[in-house]
Each structure stands twice: as structure tokens, then as C-alpha cells.
């Protein structure tokens, strides 16, 4: 089976003016065929996210008219805009909406579901999206709308802004992408208002960003990130936040958006595998975005000089939202407008900067979590997740069923590069089940094709093994398929084990259950509202690669050595050094320093090809 949402790298989608011209032409033809006598451009099957969708296609038609002057388009724009203003602008409170600060304000808003009281919780983001569609239409209004219709749309857009920032709590879902989108809406709206009204809107938008978003950032892997549905990062919504930061910087010129966007972009770059696969998040775990991410990934790929476009998006939504029948949906159409307007092109080569939470070269990558434990290992086109044993998750030595992974002190890192090799040494103090302090030294070396991992720890009392990952997925052309295998060799015994339990908290990679499905099954709330990261932490056991200790290691150490990505014999040699450990493989020799490190306690590493 293939993973349903992680498909091709987003930079594989053509983004030339000719390609975008073709997209707009297709949108125009479908919209002109679909439009009803009343002016409705919604997909007939749309039920959710409806409040902004007809207006979104109107904005695309307005952009198309700007570029082609197609004589069929102006009448459709005016008629569809009249439909939105007449049928999709609500001023009476939606029954059951819980986030109002002012009852019966009379301010306009958009509904997530048209039926009154059916699903009011989504009205805040739907109003953000409707505001953004409206300002895009206003941007294209010259020569297209008459004065009265333009004035009515501007009044509604200003009302949307006031509803979002006065009548309701700001960002009630604690969703960074929605909140930054609201700020963008205010910044774009301000440009259309008279200065006496526009300047307060702009100032309010910047203040909301500073106090309502930036001040509440969450730290993960050394980066401060806009909070997303209560967590630090979501691999569906995080790149969407990046797109909003790109648009905020494009239209305002405020450097704070560039700085924060670059920080988020470097974080994404570090957590992404070389092949663009990623996993994890507090709202969705594998449900990647498509066109919604392009603007931010492309804009900031240039600013940080790295190939963020390798991100595997949902290319079914590569240009715009679509329904199962392939028909266009206007939801989030503002992102397509902005990416067409932005002239930035992809930066397609990897960054040469060393990143603490990533080791990457060629077709090999290791993405480390906040504890500097591998979260994703990629080699030979196969992706391994952190495995679980006895409710403990990670990568490291296991003794008596206890995983030595959780740090009990400062985790230190040393990066070394040679002409042909990239290496990272991680030293981590841990305690075993008996509270004895242990020092785990983990050496990761790659030549861009293979990944060598050596883990050394003071000799353990019982027969240990190395928990070395959960084989999960593999590249398959422009798709990612599930797998239960990985190309791994070990200097000790190697086995791939699977959980005996059948309950949801035992994840067997041989089944067709995805990680996201398993995580939601273990989450506290229903799918789409639960936290899959929190749910996955309830996992008791999983399929796992287990590597035994090597023979012939120094007597005071247990040493484990595995190689990912290359078949054939694997017979590394290990010798005690003063101080430290010498590691010899077919590709390199490394001297790993002692547990005390240098004069400052930092790890020491010497590497020769």
C-alpha cells in the first residue's frame, strides 16, 4: 500500500508563468461551466469549509482576467461576488458558537458549514479564509468591479477583520497557521482602507502577531515555532504557517516575518529527510499539505539557501483544493493566487551549513528529535522511525527491557566533515533501571550512500541489544509505500521483531495500519481533533530492528554497530584508545574520545576516510 498523502516533492510541480497560465485557464473553464444562475461557484458536493470557497474561485477568475482580459470573465466575477455578498455573509450569531466576546455584534463572518448551528467551531478560520479571498478580489478590482460593489466588498472585508479581532477571541483553536493568516488579512486589508482607518488595522495586525503569536512560540529542536493546535509543529500545518509568513513579509516588508520564517524554514529543513518524508504533529501526523505550502517553502528555500521543495506534499492538491471527483474547490485559493504572483523560484541544492538536529549527505539522512535521538533514519530510499519497547520510544541500548535513551543531563554534539564523509557524535548521560549513570556515545557517519552507526556504553550487566529503528516506508517512484523491511547489516546478531500483542498500542509494521491511524487510535480525542503525537507516545511496543553487541569490543564496553543502506558483509573493528575508542570500518577510521570529553566536556572526534 502507498501512504495516501505523502506523494511527490513539491518542487517537481512546474511553476513557470506558462504552467500557471495553464492552471488559470483550466480553472476559468471549469468555473464558467459550473457557475449557477445565482452566481454560485461552490463545488456541488461541498459541505465543509464552504464559507470562502465560491469567493476563492472568484478571486482566481479575477486574477485570470488581469492576465488574459478574457471577455467572458468580468460578468462571472461580478455575478459570483454578488452571490457571496448576498448568500454567504452572515451577521446573526451562529447558534452554539462558543468563542464570542460580544454577542449580537452584527459584524459579518463566514461559516464553516452553511446550516445554522451545524458545526460552528470552524467559523473563525473560515472567516480568516474569506477575508483573504476578499482582499485578493479587491487587489484585482480596478476595471473589474463598479464602485458600489467594490465598496460593499471592502465594507464586508473590514467587518470580517473586526469580527475576528473584536467580536471573538483571537486564535481560539491555538492554530498558528490560522492566526498568522488573520494577521496577513489585516495587513492586506489596511492597504485598501483610507489611511485614517488603514493605519490602525495595520498596527493592530502587527501587535497581534507580536503578542498573540510570537510571544507564545513553542520551542522544539532548538527553534522557537508558532504554536500549532497546542503543539510545536505539525507537518501539515507547519509549512502552511511558513506560507503565511512569506506573504506577511512580501506585503509588509517587516523583517520580523522574515526572521521568524527563516527560523521555521531551518527547522523544517532539519527535520525533513533527504527524500522529503516527515512524520508527526499535534493535529495530523502524515496528512501533508500541497499547494498551501508551496509559497512558503519556495520563498524561504531561497532565503536559507536549501532545497525545501523536496518536501513530499499531497500532489493531488498540488495546484488547488479538489474533491474526489477531481473538481476544483475554492478553499484556500488565496495561496494559489499568491504563489502565482510571487516571482521567487525554488532553491534546489542542499544547505552546506551544519545543523545540530540533522545529518544529511547524498541519499542518507538522520533527523534527530529534541533529545538528539534519531526520529527518522533514511538510507537506500527506506525510512525507519524510532521504535518502541515496553512503553519507551527511541534509539539506543536496551538492557532487561529498559531503553537507555532518555537524557539525564546535557546532551552534547560534535560534527566533523571530510572531503567524502559527514559525521556526528552524540554523547548522552542516561540512567539505567537501577539509577546507575551511564554514558552513551553514538557515532553516525555517512558517505552519502551508507550510514554507519556505532553506539558504545559502559559494560552492562545483562545481555543487551541496540534498538535500531522501525522500518516503515520506502520511496516508490513519486509515491511512498509502506514497508516492513530495511537494508541493514549488523556486526552483531540482527533480528527484526514484531509485537505479540494485537491491541492498538502494539504497532506491527506488517499490517496496513499507518502510523497516523495508530496514533489517532491512541489519542484522547477523535480523529482530526486528538493529538497524534500524544497518542503515539502511548505505544507500548512496535516492530523493531534489534542488533546484538559486537564481539571483540574492549572489555569495559558494550559496543553496537549497524550499517544502513548497503548489502554485504559488515566486519568493523574496535580497539580501546587513550582515551576513547577507535572504530575501523571498510570506509573510515574514527577515534571517539572518552566520556569526559575535552577541557570543556565537549565530545572529541577524529575522522579519516
Separation of alpha carbons 279 and 234, rounded Å: 9
Is the CB of residue 272 less than 8 Å from the CB of residue 297? no
Phi-psi region of 565 (alpha: psi -120 to 50; beta: other; left: phi over 0): left
pLDDT of 105: 98
The one-character DSSP state at 7 is: -
Of 254, 258, 252, give the one whose Cα is nearest residue 187: 252
Mapped onto helix, strand or coil, the DSSP state of residue 262 is helix
Query: Can you state the angle between helices 73-87 and 147-162, rounded to 10 degrees?
Result: 40
192-240 pLDDT, tens digit per residue, is: 999 999 999 999 999 999 999 999 999 999 999 999 988 889 999 999 9
Separation of alpha carbons 342 and 337, rounded Å: 9
pLDDT of 230: 81
pLDDT at 164 over 90: yes
Is the CB of residue 575 less than 8 Å from the CB of residue 599? no
71-95 pLDDT, tens digit per residue, is: 999 999 999 999 999 999 999 999 9
Of 275, 413, 400, give the one whose Cα is nearest residue 350: 275
3-state secondary structure 538-573: CCCEECEEEECCCCCCCCCEEEEEEEECCCCCCCCE
Separation of alpha carbons 83 and 77, rounded Å: 10
Separation of alpha carbons 416 and 548, rounded Å: 27
Mean pLDDT, residues 436-452 taken together? 97
Give the torsion sign (CA, 534, 536, 538, 544): negative
Mean pLDDT, residues 261-289 taken together? 95
pLDDT bin (cut points 50, 70, 90) of residue 63 is very high
pLDDT bin (cut points 50, 70, 90) of residue 56 is very high
Mean pLDDT, residues 453-462 taken together? 94
pLDDT of 526: 85
pLDDT of 468: 97
505-554 pLDDT, tens digit per residue, is: 999 999 999 999 999 999 998 888 889 999 999 999 999 999 999 999 99
Of 489, 273, 491, 496, give the one whose Cα is nearest residue 381: 273
pLDDT of 179: 98
What is the distance of C-alpha 203 from the center of its chain? Answer: 30
pLDDT bin (cut points 50, 70, 90) of residue 460 is very high
pLDDT at 385 over 90: yes
pLDDT at 273 over 90: yes
Maximum Cα interatomic distance, the chain, rounded to a whole number of Å: 86
pLDDT of 461: 84
Which residues make Cβ contacts (< 8 Å) with residue 529, sequence separation at least 6? none
What is the distance of C-alpha 283 from the center of its chain? Answer: 11
Mean pLDDT, residues 18-31 taken together? 97
pLDDT of 174: 92
3-state secondary structure 156-218: HHHHHHHHHHHHECCCCCCEHHHHHHHHHHHHHHHCCCCHHHHHHHHHHHHHHHHHHHHHHCE
Separation of alpha carbons 441 and 425, rounded Å: 7
- Give 270's Cβ-side CA count (13 Å radius): 22
- Per the DSSP assignment, residues forming a β-bridge with 379 are 382
Separation of alpha carbons 427 and 412, rounded Å: 5
Separation of alpha carbons 225 and 63, rounded Å: 33
| pTM for the predicted model, two decimal places | 0.96
Mean pLDDT, residues 31-59 taken together? 96
pLDDT of 420: 96
pLDDT at 316 over 90: yes
Is the CB of residue 127 less than 8 Å from the CB of residue 156? no
Total length of the chain:
609
447 vs 568 pLDDT, higher one: 447
How distant, in Å, are the alpha carbons of 7, 15, 254, 275, 296 from that of 300?
Answer: 21, 16, 15, 18, 6
Of 422, 417, 444, 440, give the one whose Cα is nearest residue 430: 440
Of 369, 363, 416, 331, give the one whose Cα is nearest residue 51: 331
pLDDT of 39: 97
Average pLDDT, the chain: 96
Amino acid at each position: 500500500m502507498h501512504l495516501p498523502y505523502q506523494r511527490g516533492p513539491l518542487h517537481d510541480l512546474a511553476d513557470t508563468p506558462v504552467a500557471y497560465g495553464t492552471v488559470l485557464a483550466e480553472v476559468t473553464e471549469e468555473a464558467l461551466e459550473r457557475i449557477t444562475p445565482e452566481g454560485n461557484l461552490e463545488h456541488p458536493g461541498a459541505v465543509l469549509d464552504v464559507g470562502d470557497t465560491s469567493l476563492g474561485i472568484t478571486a482566481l477568475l479575477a486574477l485570470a482576467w488581469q492576465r488574459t482580459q478574457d471577455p467572458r470573465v468580468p460578468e462571472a466575477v461580478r455575478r459570483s461576488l454578488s452571490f457571496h455578498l448576498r448568500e454567504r455573509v452572515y451577521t446573526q450569531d451562529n447558534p452554539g458558537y462558543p468563542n464570542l466576546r460580544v454577542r449580537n455584534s452584527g459584524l459579518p463572518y463566514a461559516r464553516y458549514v452553511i446550516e445554522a448551528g451545524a458545526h460552528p467551531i470552524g467559523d473563525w478560520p473560515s472567516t480568516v479564509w474569506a477575508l483573504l479571498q476578499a482582499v485578493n478580489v479587491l487587489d484585482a478590482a480596478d476595471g473589474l468591479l463598479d464602485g458600489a460593489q467594490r465598496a460593499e466588498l471592502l465594507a464586508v472585508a473590514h467587518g470580517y477583520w473586526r469580527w475576528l479581532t473584536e467580536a471573538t477571541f483571537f486564535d481560539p483553536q491555538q492554530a498558528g497557521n490560522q492566526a498568522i493568516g488573520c494577521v496577513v488579512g489585516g495587513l492586506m486589508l489596511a492597504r485598501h482602507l483610507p489611511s485614517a482607518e488603514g493605519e490602525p488595522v495595520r498596527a493592530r495586525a502587527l501587535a497581534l502577531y507580536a503578542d498573540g503569536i510570537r510571544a507564545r512560540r513553542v520551542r522544539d529542536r532548538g527553534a522557537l515555532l508558532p504554536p500549532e493546535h497546542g503543539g510545536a509543529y505539525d507537518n501539515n500545518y507547519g509549512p502552511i504557517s511558513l506560507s503565511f509568513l512569506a506573504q506577511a513579509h512580501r506585503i509588509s516588508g517587516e523583517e520580523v516575518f522574515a526572521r521568524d520564517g527563516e527560523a521555521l524554514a531551518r527547522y523544517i529543513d532539519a527535520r525533513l529527510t533527504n527524500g522529503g518524508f516527515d512524520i508527526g504533529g499535534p493535529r495530523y501526523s502524515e496528512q501533508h499539505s500541497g499547494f498551501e505550502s508551496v509559497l512558503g517553502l519556495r520563498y524561504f528555500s531561497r532565503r536559507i539557501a536549501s532545497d525545501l521543495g523536496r518536501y513530499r506534499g499531497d500532489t493531488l492538491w498540488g495546484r488547488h483544493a479538489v474533491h474526489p471527483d477531481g473538481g476544483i474547490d475554492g478553499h484556500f485559493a488565496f495561496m494559489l493566487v499568491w504563489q502565482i504572483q510571487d516571482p521567487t523560484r525554488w532553491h534546489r541544492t542542499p544547505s552546506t551549513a551544519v545543523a545540530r538536529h540533522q545529518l544529511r549527505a547524498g541519499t542518507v539522512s538522520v533527523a534527530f528529535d529534541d533529545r538528539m535521538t534519531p526520529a527518522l533514519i533514511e538510507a537506500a530510499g527506506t525510512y525507519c522511525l524510532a521504535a518502541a519497547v515496553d512503553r519507551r520510544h527511541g534509539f539506543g541500548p536496551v538492557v532487561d527491557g529498559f531503553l537507555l535513551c532518555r537524557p539525564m543531563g546535557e546532551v552534547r554534539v560534535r560534527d566533523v566533515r571530510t572531503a567524502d564523509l559527514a559525521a556526528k557524535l552524540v554523547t548522552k548521560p542516561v540512567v539505567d533501571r537501577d539509577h546507575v549513570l551511564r554514558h552513551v556515545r553514538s557515532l553516525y557517519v555517512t558517505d552519502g550512500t551508507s550510514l554507519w552507526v556505532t553506539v558504545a556504553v559502559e559494560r552492562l550487566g545483562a545481555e543487551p541489544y541496540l534498538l535500531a529503528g522501525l522500518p516503515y516506508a520506502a520511496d516508490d517512484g513519486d509515491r511512498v509505500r509502506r514497508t516492513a523491511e530495511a537494508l541493514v547489516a549488523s556486526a552483531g546478531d540482527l533480528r527484526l521483531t514484531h509485537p505479540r500483542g494485537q491491541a492498538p498500542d502494539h504497532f506491527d509494521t506488517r499490517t496496513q495500519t499507518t502510523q497516523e491511524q495508530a496514533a489517532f487510535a491512541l489519542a484522547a480525542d477523535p480523529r482530526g481533533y486528538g493529538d497524534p503525537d500524544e497518542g503515539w507516545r502511548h505505544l507500548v511496543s512496535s516492530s523493531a530492528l534489534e542488533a546484538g553487541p559486537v564481539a571483540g569490543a574492549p572489555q569495559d564496553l558494550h559496543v553496537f554497530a549497524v550499517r544502513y543502506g548497503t548489502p554485504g558483509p559488515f566486519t568493523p573493528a574496535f580497539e580501546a584508545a587513550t582515551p576513547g575508542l577507535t572504530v575501523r570500518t571498510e570506509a573510515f577510521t574514527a577515534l571517539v574520545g572518552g566520556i569526559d570529553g575535552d577541557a570543556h566536556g565537549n565530545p572529541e572526534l577524529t575522522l579519516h576516510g
